[in-house]
Structure 1
Amino acid sequence: MHALHTLLLFHVLTYFGGNALVSEIINGKKTKQSSMMYMASVQDKGRRHVCGGFLISEDFVVTAAHCDDWKPTSVVLGTHNLKKVNDETMRFDVKRCKHPFYKEVASGNDIMLLKLSRKARRGKKTIKPLQLPGQDVKLKEGKKCKVAGWGFTRSHGEIVNDLQDVDVPIINLEKCQKAWRNKLPANVTCAGGYGTKKGFCQGDSGGPLVFKEKIAVGIVSFNSDSDCNYPTGVPNIYTDISKFVPWIKEILQKKTC
């Protein structure tokens, strides 16, 4: 797994000239057991956590397309503690539906759907889907959203067993583009890591940026370097889910990709 992380970091470094992909929760807190029950741990064939994700229907979880580098085979739903997993009821085998225009993190379209092997029944207290954004969702500068995951809690740390979350402010896209020297791909949202000590790093890729506690507006994609001592010189970057809603709904309707 370490070798795969190194390989992915190399590809992003090549594009951004020294900036690298990292994904972890920094300066957050342990998530309350009764909240964020849409969170999914995306896992490889060794049943190791490689990315975050989130449930959007009884059939599908959303994650980042670059998580396909780890060839995930299952997701875990219904628990905040990765040491407390009942494989018979909480683990779901998946089929990967990567966005057709995704090539690499630096080129955008960093979104993937995971088709569950069986339905994650709505209404259960342990599993609740997130809503997709509608046209009425407006993300203004400084608006607080929440990001969560099982990633590192410090630079060069380790995956944690208990889900962590943190509030991060939305950053104006024009300001964000300027900070990144206009090297950002299209269809992204910026929040955290810049002008704040809070953000994400390794291990949280694919997790949601959540607006008003119930609407998924972004997917953790990348940030700058493996140094998570925020604030840094550039904001954290998320895939803007609103730009992909038609593609998502088409797959949800067909129930396949």
Structure 2
Amino acid sequence: MHALQKLLLFCVLAGFRGNALGSEIINGKKAKEKSMLYMASVQSKAGHICGGFLISEDFVVTAAHCDKWKPTSVVLGTHHLNKLNETMRYSVKKCKHPSYKEVGSGNDIMLLKLSVKAPLGKKGLIKPIKLPSHKMKLKDNKKCQVVGWGMTSTKGEVENDLREVEVPVINLEKCQKLWKNKLPSNVICAGGYGTKKGFCQGDSGGPLVCDKQAVGVVSFNNNDVCDYPDVPNVYTDVSKYLPWIKEILKKKNC
């Protein structure tokens, strides 16, 4: 395995501590109640492992590397992981991108097909988020949001309440230089470098939201100390995978 890929995989694995795995939002705030009705908790038999986001009544998007922890279901319709009931849980079929090999090589995106259709709009608790309509290039320093559950500081306590933080988009050429030209293709950089805000190890599969669209999927960073990251956070660029996503949505199968 390439040395960078080993490092990235180590960084992802390093964040999975304690009973609750998954996203860790740094220097953020609690999300407003019913403000992010698309958020999904991707779960294994052991509990929460990754974030995700609903894009239709049948499908949730998450990161392909979350497959390593054997997801079996997703939970929809709550901002609070300590307030769940089984009516919120949906078993899933995994549709991992066919070109994905490991987190450092890119294509870190996976769709999860729900066993039954989500009741959109029911009690105002579940609503999909829009995807970009075409390939796009985000403006430098554009303010977007990353969303998730979990720790709020390095080696901190797990949060049960959904949290969000605003992060600036970082020029991809600059990001490549900061990463020593070792980034995979089809990524977006936002947060981490030059700010105390972003995601941390274990924050996987959640959305990067710009102008009310899910433009990125949390993929990896490069520092086990999450308070002061030294390189930008990296997301899979959703707009680069639209044909693949649309084909699956059309067939309703992978």
Structure 2, gaps ≥5 residues long: 16-22
Q: Distance in 1 between matches of 2:30 and 2:8?
A: 34
Matched residue type, 1:86? N
2:49 maps to what in 1? 50
Q: In 2, Cα distance between the equivalents of 1:168 and 1:253?
A: 33
Deviations 1:170-204 (A, max 9, x none): 00000000000001000000000011110001342
RMSD between aligned residues? 1.9
State the AA in 2 paired with 1:210: V
The one-letter amino acid of 1:20's match is C
Would the aligned equivalents of 2:11 and 2:201 in 1 still touch at CA under 8 Å? no
Deviations for 1:100-126, whole angstroms, at most 9, x for unmatched residues? 110000000000000001101222310
In the alignment, residue 56 of structure 2 is paired with which amino acid? S
Structure 1 residue aligned with 2:106: 108
Alignment partner, residue 196 of structure 1? 195
Letter paired with 1:38: Y
Q: Which letter maps to 1:40?
A: A
Distance 1:57 1:81 in 2: 22
Distance change >3 Å, CA 12–CA 102, structure 1 → 2: farther
Going from structure 1 to structure 2, the CA distance change for 1:170 and 1:234 (only over 3 Å counts) comes to: same
Q: Quick one: distance in 2 between partners of 1:253 and 1:132?
A: 15
Find runs of 4+ consecutive structure 1 residues off by over 3 angstroms.
10-19
Asked if 1 retains the 8 angstrom alpha-carbon contact of 2:141 and 2:169, the reply is yes
For the residues of structure 1 that align with 2:34 and 2:240, how far apart are their CA atoms? 30
SS at match of 1:43: strand
Partner of 1:249: 246
Q: Alpha carbons of 1:17 and 1:93: their partners in 2 closer, same or farther (altered >3 Å)?
A: closer
Identity of aligned residues (%): 69
Return closer, same or farther for 1:158/1:65 CA change in 2, 3 Å cut-off: farther
Question: Match of 1:209, SS?
Answer: strand
Q: Distance in 1 between matches of 2:234 and 2:159?
A: 22
Task: Report the alpha carbon displacement of residue 51 of structure 1 after superposing the two structures with TM.
Answer: 0.3
Q: Which residue of 2 aligns with 1:5?
A: none
Kept in 2: contact 1:41–1:49 (CA 8 A): yes
Structure 1's unaligned 5+ residue stretches are 1-9
TM-score by length of 1: 0.90
Is 1:129 the counterpart of 2:128? The answer is: yes
Q: TM-score, normalised by structure 2?
A: 0.91
Written as runs of structure 1 = structure 2, the 5 A alignment for 1:165-180 is 165-180=164-179
CA distance in 1, matches of 2:107, 2:248: 16
Residue equivalent to 2:218 = 220
Counterpart in 1 of 2:207? 208
2:61 partner SS: strand
- Write the mapping of 1:117-156 to structure 2, written as runs, cut at 5 A: 117-124=115-122, 125-135=124-134, 137-156=136-155
Mapped to 2, the partners of 1:12 and 1:210 lie a distance apart of 31
Question: 1:79-94 counterparts in 2 under 5 A?
Answer: 79-87=78-86, 89-94=87-92
| Cα separation, partners in 2 of 1:14 and 1:139, compared to 1, 3 Å | closer
Q: Counterpart of 2:125 in structure 1: which amino acid? A: T
The answer as to whether partners of 2:170 and 2:189 remain within 8 angstroms in 1 is yes
User: What is the rounded CA distance, in whole Å, between the counterparts of 1:17 and 1:168 in structure 2?
Assistant: 21
Note closer, same or farther for the CA distance 1:14–1:54 as it changes in structure 2 (3 Å cut): closer
Moved more, 90-99 or 128-137: 128-137
SS in 2 for 1:245: helix
